[in-house]
Amino acid sequence: MKTVFTPKLSTPGKIDLARAALANDLPLMAKLVAAIPGDPKAANTTKYFASRFLSWFKDQSGPTPFSIFAAAGNMKLPFYAFSSLPGFDCPGAGACLYGENEFTPENFGKGWCYSFTGWRYPAAFFRQLQNSILLRSNAGRSLISNEFANIPEGRTVRLYVDGDFANLAILRFWMDQCKAREDLKVYGYSKSWKLFLTLDKQGYSFPVNYLLNVSSGSRYGSTVKEKLLELDCTRGEFVAVPVARKWITSKAYQDKGNDGSKEYRKEVTSQLRKAGHEKFFACPGACGNCIARKEHACGSDRLRGVVIGIGIHG
């Protein structure tokens, strides 16, 4: 029987690549990249991006193969954005990463995490992997800091689109970066709740230009969450709720201009009400103009204390 190879890499294959890279196992990395079918010179293929990444990974002395920040994104996310690896950089991840299973390596990636769906674009995966590696060294963080310093004045930055604060040193690094650029408006989502509380206990003063959205799917319980909601940097909760599959397949969840968006958001608010939330807002999908004044709810002081909900679509 003839075997047909396609120039793709499965999610388990990408997980293996990430594990090898984060373990700094160059021989295994080289072996895994060599096994990817395709021509390394064929632009925009998995083999092409993997080969570029491997060339840089060998000594990490040259320019990064992928931009560290996504500059001004797209219509859905019209801001500067930073991502690292989902799961690997998410110490507080629970059901979103493991589903209803035990938190074991075998169940890694079996939850509803949105970020893994983005891995169908190989450049996105390798950019996340690159950034995760940069964050783990002083030299790498220096590169990130330089790029952050070069973001034009007055812009909005999202930390993180994918991934999360992997440890206390990385959380402190980012908060210090925000303090150094008070002209920027920075916001994000996190399940690394205990890291924020630990930094707070150390007497750290969080930057005034950073807003935290407490993301659902964390492994931590309500006691930890309630403490986190009391921090000055916290805007409020951002929760994923179950909705009819038709709203996901029809892309009604992606933009308020899409067919079915109004009905989809009505279902989201219904689920939020059932969960006992009193102040809530249904995310319409596209950032940048989801509320009046061309603001985005997750980064707005005006929505402090409001629970923002979105339909599960991982």
pLDDT in tens, 106-152: 777 777 777 777 888 899 999 999 999 999 999 999 999 999 999 99
pLDDT of residue 4: 35
Residue reference for tokens 């083999």: 47
The first and second tokens of residue 38, run together, are: 């395709």
Q: What is the mean pLDDT of residues 227-254?
A: 91
pLDDT of residue 31: 95
Distance CA 225, CA 168 (A): 18
249 Cβ contact list (under 8 Å, min separation 6): none
Q: What is the mean pLDDT of residues 155-170?
A: 92
pLDDT of residue 287: 81
Q: What is the mean pLDDT of residues 59-67?
A: 90
Record the pTM.
0.89
pLDDT of residue 5: 37
Q: Of 11-25, 51-65, 139-153, 287-301, which range is least confident?
A: 287-301
The first and second tokens of residue 224, run together, are: 């930890």
pLDDT of residue 6: 44
Is 157 or 71 the better-scoring residue by pLDDT?
Answer: 157
Average pLDDT of the chain, as a whole number: 88
Is residue 30 scored above 80 in pLDDT? yes
pLDDT of residue 2: 38
3-state DSSP assignment of residue 212: strand
Q: What is the mean pLDDT of residues 84-106?
A: 81
Q: How would residue 234 be classed by pLDDT, with cut points 50, 70 and 90?
A: very high
Is residue 77 scored above 70 in pLDDT? no
pLDDT of residue 65: 94
**Amino acid identity at 81:** A
DSSP state of 57: H
285-301 pLDDT, tens digit per residue, is 888 778 876 678 999 99
Q: Interhelix angle for 26-34 vs 11-22, to 10°?
A: 160
Distances (CA, A) of 7 to 45, 92, 114, 130, 294: 7, 34, 23, 21, 41
193 phi and psi angles, rounded to 5 deg: -60, -45
Let me know: does 115 contact 88? Beta carbons within 8 Å: no
